[in-house]
Amino acid sequence: MENRKTWFVTGASKGLGLTLVKQLLQAGHKVAATSRNTASLIEAVGFTGDAFLPLGVELGSDESVAAAIRQTDQHFGGIDVVVNNAGYGMGGSMEELTDKEVRDSFDINVFGTINVIRHVLPVMRGQGSGHIINISSIAGIAPSTGWSVYGAAKHAVIGLTEVLADDVGHLGIKVTLVAPGAFRTNFNNPDSLVLSQRKIDAYSEARSSQEKFAAKSGTQAGDPAKAAKLMMEISEMPEPPLYLLLGSDAYVRAFAKLDLLSSSYKRWEVLTKSTDYD
**Would you please indicate which residues are annotated as catalytic (active-site) residues?**
136, 150, 154
pLDDT of residue 159: 97
pLDDT of residue 1: 41
pLDDT tens per residue across span 54-88 = 999 999 999 999 999 999 999 999 999 999 999 88
Phi, psi of 97 (to 5 degrees): -80, 135
Give yes or no for a contact between 35 and 57, defined as CB atoms under 8 angstroms apart.
yes
pLDDT of residue 240: 97
CA distances (Å), 54 to each of 18, 60, 197, in order?
Answer: 12, 18, 33
pLDDT of residue 89: 84
User: Measured between alpha carbons, how far is 232 from 40 in angstroms, rounded to an integer?
Assistant: 24
Give yes or no for a contact between 8 and 32, defined as CB atoms under 8 angstroms apart.
yes
Q: Which residues lie closer than 8 Å to 228 by C-beta, 6 or more apart?
A: 16, 19, 20, 22, 23
Question: CB burial class (10 A; 0-12, 13-18, 19+) of residue 110?
Answer: buried
Q: What structural domains and CATH numbers belong to the chain?
A: 6-252 (3.40.50.720)
Q: Which residues of the chain have pLDDT under 70?
A: 1-2, 183-192, 210-220
